[in-house]
Chains A and B, each alone.
Chain A
Amino acid sequence: MDFIPLKSNLPHSGKFEWPIIMISMILSGIGLCLVYSATVPFGEAGRLYVMRQITWCSLGLVLAPVLLIFDYELLDHWALRLYIIIIVALILVWATGRVTYGSKRWMQMGLMRFQPSEFAKLAVIIILAKYLQTTPGNASTQLMDVLRPLALAILPAFLVLLQPDLGTACVITLISFSMIVFAGVGKRLLLWTGIGLLALIPIAMFLSDHLLMSYQRRRLFSFLNPSYDPLGSGYHLLQSQIAIGSGGLLGKGFLQGTQNQLMFLPVKHTDFIFAILAEEWGFVGCAVVLFLFLGLFLRGMTIAGKARDNFGTLLAFGCTVSFFWHVTINVAMVMGLLPVVGVPLSFLSYGGSALLASFLAVSILANVAMRRSAY
């Protein structure tokens, strides 16, 4: 069994997968402008952010096409190994993070997003795609057939939750759930699993209400959501809505957003970047970006539909749905439709590892697309 099936295949389908690549390039370009605008008020320190984002962007743009040389079947071979590496990395990060927090009690964890969590999403997608590729056709009604793949996803999600990173943990769970549903699960089973999970939420809330003191609950929640709503008064949300709403149709113009430049939104270059987009580029700008994302999703689904094997379909679906959940949760949060969780907006938010992971996902999608008629 050759380790690296570098089959002498430049894609047989003949056509280079332009749509996905173009969309991701346009989106990351827009992201750079937004990050620049968001960090200008930081003064000197601001330029660092943009430089970093450009670096990561370039790295992604170079890496993505390079990885296309390898057939995506390689991921099938490596799925378990990648998964284990990510688990180990997550444990390491949790362990060392714990030690520093314990010994230097007052050192803030700050806004660090530890890198493994972003790549954990990809690892989960890959291993679930591998696991689930035999399910189509075997419509299962066994609970275990849902729980086993779910367990594969819950482990990294839990480790990520410990970091603490509630947002990414939620996204991992949602992605896995979507993939399991997509791959095939009996309707009744689906219903029961769904009910079971929903039932857990009020139980958890009940427990936390009665076992934890109110200040502990507050601490736990702010521990999980470190930088948001520090005053707990809905300030952040209001400011975000003002930013969006005051953008009007055409926005206030590049670098002219008062909410942005006046620093009314303290943490805006990461998760609230959409508010910057809305304020400075208006409804038109938002619609353009949303349509770009929609294009990404639709193209991704088309790729899934035309893949040469189930593994490819599931990979493509997993990557697509990963983008979908990021965008949906982030935009809903910024617009006040969901409570605040830390989920970045793919390609637009500042954040090197998220950006790189997004480019890797794009690379996988292109890979599946370009090898669809290998047989």
Chain B
Amino acid sequence: MSDFLRKEYSAEYFGPRIRVAVIIFIAGAAIFLARLWQLQLIEGESYIEMAKNNRVRMVRLPASRGRILDCNGRTLAEDNPSFTFSIVPGEIENPRDMLEPCSAILGIPQEKMRGLIERSKTVPRFMNYPIKKNMTLEEVSLMKSRFMSSKGVLLEVKPLRLYPGGETLCHVIGTMGEVSAQELPRAAKLGYRTGDLLGKSGIEKEYETYLRGEEGWEEVEIDAKGRQLGHRSRKAPRAGADIELTIDYDLQKYSEEIFIHRAGSIVAVDPDSGRILAMVSKPGYDLNLFSPSITDRQWKRLRNDPLHPLENRSVRGLYSPASAFKIITATAALHEKLIRPDQKFNCAGKLELAGQAFRCWNHNGHGPIAFRRAIVESCDIYFYELGRLLGADKIAHYAALFGLGKPTGLGLPHELPGLIPSPAWKGRTYGDSWKDGETLNFAIGQGYLVATPIQLAMMTAAVANRGKLFKPSIVRRIRSRDEGIVFDHEPVVRWTIPVDSNALDMVRSAMTAVVSTSRGTGRRALIPGIKIAAKTGTSQVIRDKQLMIESEQIPYHERTHAIFVAYVDDKPKKIALVVMVEHGGAGGISAAPIARKIIARYYSMPDRGESQE
């Protein structure tokens, strides 16, 4: 509540105090004016001199960016010094004298040189205007000796990012680029300035703060000619930390080499830890194109390429898992005790439901078929029956238990979650009711269901380690030069899949037979001496079309995707992998051999080719 004292009383009380305050204010102003008088008028001359000869400059010392290494310390990305020749337009004495020697040494036509000097006048007079970037060492030494004593020119050393692997692991490593106008407001608060580079994709982006380090300062004393005399004080830049990936470069390179198809993905993971051994996405691109910066033409070519080389299919490719999904359907049915392993269903090549025909890939039918053979020969009718028994909601439930429908949390940018359909979902999204036939398609991994290769790899890994769904990781360690190991990966289990271990074992046993028996769809992956468990998948691209013509006659974009998931778990080092060949045809034909080669390579065994046809 305001206290209503009489105005006169307040004036009496406050009056003197106000006077005191006023005196203090005026005194303060007087002191400042006196000091200013001293600095500006009495000592002004000497300061003007000092400003003119201001010999001390604060120079930013960029920090060297951390490297990106594979699990064995092999360099995948690192900085190399790159030289830029710049002029300071406000300080240059005789621009015309420079034309000829610059042009001769740097190989710039004189006209262009003249144009550059003209344009340099548009920037603030005391800023560096670059004339030529990425000079060769020869150019550097020639320029240095010629212009050593000239004012207004300087040689700047900037780091250039190099990628020894070229295209290898390009999507995971990622690219760098200049800070964009949109990023600048937030980035400026973190110390970035216009023209600075930062990671734009992949690990370069995700771990930018670690890789970047911290820039330093230096007080540099320069003479009247602009030469550096020495430095007064210095805050050393702190180098960025090195990121060690879980990737094995040899395995990665090999996998990329043997993937001869146009597009697709391979993800290989260690099922006991979730660490990614290899991650291939084809087509790719040469990372060195982006360093120092990509030309407009090349960028347009990459962007407009219909196969989308810039996309990391391993985390962003959405595919129907097709028969690979049968692993989940089978586990679900057994765990729910809806069938017995010896229970037979009859596969006659097709099944009628609500007036529609649902076919098996084997048009003649498998005949009476039970659990093991249904997996080994990938009978669709058997799994339609499982689907009817389970119902769409249960299938969706188990799909989620195996990690589908949500991002794996790998830590690469823009991972997609895929989609697990369900009656509720369909109602929400399309306002339409779920049809029974869609449950059948769901059970064999088709329909609305889509997953990314990394999700399928983690699913396979969970089967390999008998039920633990790991969080995948691609970074093994982060090591700083000053502080040692800053991050060390510990495997993280997202959850243990709550299914009966007997059920899982039966599925696992059947998956082994997929490769080892003569009628198994995965027989082309057989390597004598290694026990491989696998499941093939052939993912329909055009719905409801059962094509009977030869696969070569089908147009590329209508061909099915070839999928192969596999694992080896009876050796000290284990592996789980998924091979996805876009529009590759049949999983057992196109994808299986690739998996075989990779597994053979991983265990250092010779690949004797396909022993069975």
Contact = CB atoms under 8 A, between A and B. Distances in A.
Interface in A289-322: 290-291, 293-294, 297-298, 301, 304-305, 307-311, 313, 317, 320-321
A95 B288 CA distance: 42
A261 B185 CA distance: 22
A104 B29 CA distance: 45
A182 B17 contact: yes
Contacts of B485: none
A287 B29 CA distance: 9
Interface string A277-296: 01000110011001101100
B54 interface: yes
A346 to B, nearest CB: 14
Contacts of A198: none
A248 B44 contact: yes
Contact of B32 (A111, A308, A331): A331
A136 interface: yes
Contact of B209 (A44, A106, A375): A106
Given A136-B5, A290-B32, A246 B50 contact: yes
Interface residues of B, number: 67
Contacts of A305: 11, 14-15, 18
B126 A41 contact: yes
A43 interface: yes
A243 interface: yes
A194 to B, nearest CB: 15
A295 B102 CA distance: 58
B36 interface: yes
Contact of A247 (B13, B40, B217): B40
A367 B465 CA distance: 73
A284 to B, nearest CB: 9
Contact of A43 (B40, B127, B185, B214): B127
Given A43-B194, A44-B181, A259-B51, A108 B21 contact: no
B47 A245 contact: yes
Contacts of B18: 301, 304-305
A75 to B, nearest CB: 10
Interface stretch (A81-89, A147-155, A208-216, A227-235): A227-235
B33 A290 contact: yes
Interface in B205-234: 209-210, 212-214, 217, 219, 232-234
A279 to B, nearest CB: 8
B7 A110 contact: no
Nearest to A77: B1
Contact of B36 (A258, A297, A335): A335
B104 interface: no
B22 interface: yes
Nearest to B216: A230
A102 interface: no
B193 interface: yes
B486 interface: yes
Interface in A39-60: 40-45, 48
Contacts of B35: 335, 337
Contacts, number: 191
Taking residues whose C-beta sits less than 8 angstroms from the other chain, chain A's interface range is: 35 or more
A104 B209 CA distance: 8
A233 B219 contact: yes
A266 interface: yes
A247 B50 CA distance: 12
Given A231-B233, A317-B21, A286 B194 contact: no
20 contacts: A43-B123, A45-B194, A48-B188, A107-B209, A110-B190, A110-B191, A137-B9, A182-B17, A233-B219, A235-B232, A244-B36, A249-B44, A258-B52, A259-B54, A283-B41, A287-B36, A301-B21, A310-B10, A328-B28, A375-B4
Interface of A: 40-45, 48, 73, 76, 104-108, 110-112, 133-134, 136-137, 182, 184, 230-233, 235, 239, 241-249, 258-259, 261-264, 266, 278, 282-283, 286-287, 290-291, 293-294, 297-298, 301, 304-305, 307-311, 313, 317, 320-321, 324, 328, 331-332, 335, 337, 375
4 pairs of A and B residues whose beta carbons are closest in the complex: A245-B47, A231-B233, A246-B51, A110-B189
Interface of B: 1-5, 7, 9-11, 13-15, 17-18, 21-22, 25-26, 28-29, 32-33, 35-37, 39-41, 43-44, 46-48, 50-52, 54, 56-58, 123-127, 181, 184-185, 188-191, 193-195, 209-210, 212-214, 217, 219, 232-235, 486
Given A311-B3, A375-B4, 16 more contacts: A40-B124, A48-B184, A106-B212, A136-B14, A233-B232, A233-B233, A235-B56, A242-B51, A244-B39, A245-B40, A245-B47, A258-B52, A264-B58, A294-B26, A298-B25, A331-B32
